[in-house]
Amino acid sequence: MIRAENLSLSIHGTDILTDVSFQMKPGQVFGLVGESGSGKSMTALALMGLLPRGAETRGRILLDGGDLTRLNDRDMCAIRGNRISMIFQEPMTALNPVRTIGDQVAETLLIHTRATRAEALEIARQKLTRVGLPPERVPLDRFPHELSGGQRQRVCIAMAIRADHRAGRHHTGADPDPAARAGRGRGHVAVADHSRSGGGGRERACRCC
Ligand SMILES: Nc1ncnc2c1ncn2[C@@H]1O[C@H](COP(=O)(O)OP(=O)(O)O)[C@@H](O)[C@H]1O
Ligand SMILES: [Mg+2]
């Protein structure tokens, strides 16, 4: 479960969020609606620990009881792409133009699990199939510019699917730090940042760390 408690944010002294509180339970889909500029993306970025320079937060962001706002960069890297993923708004800027889609979907597995490259690519194949991009139609060695906009968005969703999907046994067994330990065998939060609800627009996914 993830919960924001009285989350406030300022950027270079300008107030952006004031006392935002909500919680998402396992299996729950939670929608945050607001006019343009009201702070939806900043709320999502706060959950990911990806706020811009000059940002200061108050309040707490609790993931299974642990406060993410207190984690340093290293601990947050163990969570990002592992416990929490983000589907960003713009697939063209989310995807790396010079890496194949297979490599990009496999990346979180290589970072967060002990999967070999071959195993990670096999899971990437499964994830891409799950979002409607079976490799026989869209091979893993395609680059983002060789896909349609909608297909790119699907790649981004595949990237946000839980890293240890079908790979639990590869998780590191003896991480000394709590953040890495927390990433094993636990729930996963996917944060999608959409500009509007129409048009089937699932968009870009998080690049892990
Ligand atoms: N990098 C940034 N630096 C300073 N202010 C920003 C930055 N990005 C967004 N903002 C401001 O934060 C506020 C909330 O923006 P945002 O969360 O992107 O809104 P939205 O609800 O449309 O997603 C806006 O006033 C915006 O101008
Ligand atoms: Mg936004």
Residue nearest to atom 14 of ligand 1 (CA): 39
C-beta separation of 24 from 189 below 8 A: yes
pLDDT of residue 189: 81
More confident position, 78 or 136 = 136
Instruction: Check if 18 has its Cβ closer than 6 Å to any atom of ligand 1.
Output: no
Per-residue pLDDT, averaged over 51-60, amounts to 96
Task: Give the C-alpha separation, 199 to 150, whole Å.
Answer: 10
pLDDT tens digits along 164-187: 644 433 333 333 343 344 344 457
Q: How many CB atoms lie within 10 A of CB 190?
A: 15
Q: Which atom of ligand 1 is nearest to the CA of 36?
A: 22
Query: Averaging pLDDT over each range in 41-45, 187-191, 200-204, which range is the top one?
Result: 41-45
pLDDT tens digits along 29-44: 999 999 999 999 999 9
Closest CA relative to residue 64, chosen from 207, 162, 181: 181
Per-residue pLDDT, averaged over 143-156, amounts to 94
135 pLDDT band, cuts 50/70/90, is very high
pLDDT of residue 89: 81
C-beta separation of 105 from 158 below 8 A: yes
pLDDT of residue 49: 92
C-beta separation of 109 from 158 below 8 A: no
Q: DSSP 3-state assignment of 15?
A: strand
C-beta separation of 63 from 85 below 8 A: no
Q: Which two tokens stand for residue 130?
A: 């799950």
Residue nearest to atom 16 of ligand 1 (CA): 39
pLDDT of residue 174: 36
Ligand nearest to the CA of 88: 2
Which of 42, 43, 57 has most ligand 1 atoms within 8 Å of CB, for mutation?
42
More confident position, 183 or 83 = 83
Q: Which two tokens stand for residue 138?
A: 């869209």
Q: Which two tokens stand for residue 185?
A: 């065998």
Instruction: Check if 41 has its Cβ closer than 6 Å to any atom of ligand 1.
Output: yes
Q: In what order do the strands lie in the sheet with 204-205?
A: 189-192, 84-88, 204-205
